[in-house]
A and B are shown apart, each in its own frame.
Chain A
Amino acid sequence: QVQLQESGPGLVKPSESLSLTCSVSGDSISSYHWSWIRQSAGKGLEWIGRLLTRGTTNYNPSLERRVTISADTSKNQFSLKLSSVTAADTAVYYCTRVVVPATYGAFDIWGQGIMVTVSS
């Protein structure tokens, strides 16, 4: 059973970069596709981007200039980096497994989520 766990700082200063890691247990990260989704009070659930097994990334155009998703196969982890953050980036960030095509549900496994606040 694949399980996901987010980690990273809970507080980030405005204009700095937000960096989160998702640790995958139960299977190899190389076997699946992965994604980040965030949830804020103001915008609900927002898809951030995905990392496909062959290394291809797709990002939400609204965030594309600031987002990078990458994997570290040696640690069985994938990560999110969001640069130049503002208060609007305050949210709960979820890492998920993403299934393509979405025959049985696009986001079938979710981490518990990590709250990130952007404030000085």
Chain B
Amino acid sequence: DIMMTQSPLSLPVTPGEPASISCRSSQSLLSSGGSTYLEWYLQKPGQSPQVLISLTSNRASGVPDRFSGSGSGTDFTLKISRVEAEDVGIYYCMQALQTPYTFGQGTTLEIK
């Protein structure tokens, strides 16, 4: 199985300030077809997870452009340019390169 490791696990942020979450995979997520199958999900309080980012950097439909994903190989980053109150929740990275799909431990973003 591919292991996913996130940091930090807790992230207090002042509204309007940027935030960054790191994710590392135990092996490269680059497919033979040239796509890198790293995704980001957000689980807002009391809700099911929702996809934010696919293929490392593609925002899902309806996701604000203050969210951006980057990285390659085994090292990835999710950035929020200016945190808003509605961004609170748990952020998970996940590899979709192969089954079993595996998730990071989650990063809890809270507003200071």
CB distance from B48 to the nearest CB of A (A): 4
Whether A26 is near chain B, meaning CB under 8 Å from some CB there, is: no
Q: A residues 15-67 with Cβ under 8 Å of B?
A: 44-47, 50, 58, 60-62
8 Å CB contact of A104 from B41, B60, B99, B101: B60
Cβ of B54 and Cβ of A103 under 8 Å apart?
Answer: yes
**Does A94 lie within 8 Å of B101, measured CB to CB?**
no
Q: Which of B19-27, B77-85, B102-110 contacts A (4 or more CB under 8 A)?
A: B102-110
Q: Write out the residue numbers on chain A whose beta carbons fall within 8 Å of the beta carbon of B106.
A: 44-45
Contact B100 A106 (CB under 8 A): no
Mostly helix, strand, loop or mixed at chain A's interface? loop
- The one of B37, B49, B100, B104 in contact with A102, judged by C-beta atoms closer than 8 angstroms, is B37
- A44→B81 CA distance, assembly (Å): 27
- Residues of A near B105 (CB, < 8 A) are 44
Is chain B's binding surface mostly helix, strand, loop or mixed?
loop
Contact B100 A47 (CB under 8 A): yes
Interface string of A95-107 (1 = CB under 8 A from B): 0000001111111
Are A47 and B48 closer than 8 Å at their CB atoms? no
Tally of contact residues, B, Cβ under 8 A: 25
B103 near A44 (CB under 8 angstroms)?
yes
Number of A interface residues, CB 8 Å? Answer: 22
Check if A111 is an interface residue, CB within 8 A of chain B: yes
In the bound complex, CA of A111 to CA of B39 (Å):
19
Which 10 pairs of residues, A with B, have the shortest CB-CB distance? Answer: A105-B51, A102-B96, A110-B48, A45-B103, A106-B96, A47-B101, A105-B54, A60-B100, A58-B99, A47-B100
21 contacts between A and B (CB under 8 A): A44-B92, A44-B103, A44-B106, A45-B94, A45-B106, A47-B103, A50-B99, A60-B99, A94-B49, A101-B96, A102-B37, A103-B54, A103-B55, A104-B54, A106-B96, A107-B41, A108-B51, A108-B60, A110-B48, A111-B48, A112-B48
Chain B residues engaging chain A, CB cutoff 8 angstroms: 1, 35, 37, 39, 41, 48-51, 54-55, 58, 60-61, 92, 94, 96, 99-106
